[in-house]
Structure 1
């Protein structure tokens, strides 16, 4: 009886081992980093899929509209400042974001005759609630027609309207820092 049981278990163990080894080989092949050409091709394929989606079609339509053309022109005007993280002088035109905007706090700022949405998110951590409250208090002290200096690491498009969205990483008024986002630790 023992011989029959061993005879049945042995093939099961061998087959299980082969299946496991085969899946491990496939996983190693899947983990292999893509070459630059393969990565570029994969990105191109993903982009084509997105462009064919309803959101992609809507964005393409917006891009060729007068609002989209104006937004791209506005972004081109400040591209060097974004890249260099340098000062941009502006005047606050509204202390609230346009209707329909979502996420975070923001204001409209006129820089070089173009209006930009400046978003800022005070850092809220369990360790330093006082810094969060102080950031909010200082940001709430801003008023329409205040002259500010802004630095930003990034700019983006809403895909509607003509405003470019800037990340407000640094905001200064009257040579006093109103808001400064701490650089992320341990990340990109």
Structure 2
């Protein structure tokens, strides 16, 4: 009986000893050093030169998506979006106050911009997008739900963009004020700038 127990325990001791030795080897200072250095060198992409960027853009413009985008840019709808963007470009660059009026509490049909509203700024319509709704107790958009059509607000934004899918420029909602009270301020991303 004792021999059977020794025969069963001996392989377990040998295997656990091997596993323990391999674990120590893997945790030793020099074991992963070369792998870590190799990974970190490979994970940081080298910035593209201006010539490489231009070549990449030219290549993309030859694709069906690129051709469609260039046609949209040259169309009256594309020119209208670019003209509306130009009207607020200085305020966006300076992150200064922009007066706006809420025109709709919903975004255009089939939009995939998350939560947002339509606003009018200097007789032009814009999408004011805040991003995807987050579920849970701490809903950062809660005060924005109190907005009504024709409410006058002050917004600040760091960016304005466009897409052929939308007939309006897309203003990123970073800050909203109504009646001299802040009702929304985008929380900075963790670990970001």
Give TM-score scaled by structure 2 length.
0.72
Partner of 1:76: 86
Which ranges in structure 2 are unaligned for 5 or more consecutive residues?
A: 1-40
Aligned to 1:41: 51
Which residue, out of 68, 71, 74, partners 1:64?
Answer: 74
Q: Compared with structure 1, are the counterparts of its residues 96 and 53 closer, same or farther at alpha carbon in structure 2 (3 Å cutoff)?
A: same
**SS of the residue aligned with 1:109?**
strand
Alpha-carbon distance, 1:123 to partner = 7.9
Q: Is the 8 A contact 1:68 1:161 kept in 2?
A: no
Higher RCO (CA-CA < 8 Å; seq separation 6+):
1
Structure 1, residues 135-187: CA drift from partner, whole Å, max 9, x if none?
33211111100001111111100213430001000011111111100223432
Determine if the alignment matches structure 1 residue 156 to structure 2 residue 161.
Answer: yes
Contact 2:115 2:133 (8 Å CA) reproduced: no
Equivalent pair of 1:71/1:162 in contact (CA under 8 Å): yes
CA RMSD of aligned residues (A): 2.7
Matched, 1:114 2:124: yes
Per the alignment, residue 16 of structure 2 pairs with none
Cα deviation code 1:115-145 (max 9, x no counterpart): 00000137859xxx5432xx33211111100
Question: Equivalences for 1:77-156 in 2 at 5 Å?
Answer: 77-121=87-131, 124=134, 129-132=136-139, 135-156=140-161
Distance 1:71 1:175 in 2: 30
Q: Is the radius of gyration larger for structure 1 or structure 2?
A: 2
* Separation (CA, whole Å) in 2 of partners of 1:110 and 1:161: 15
Structure-2 change in CA distance of 1:83 and 1:123 (3 Å): farther
Contact kept, 8 Å, 1:81 with 1:88, in 2: the verdict is yes
Under a length normalisation based on structure 1, what TM-score does the superposition of the two structures give? 0.74
Measure the CA separation in 2 of the matches of 1:130 and 1:168: 21
Of 166, 173, 188 in structure 2, the residue corresponding to residue 183 of structure 1 is 188
Gaps of 5+ in 1: 1-27
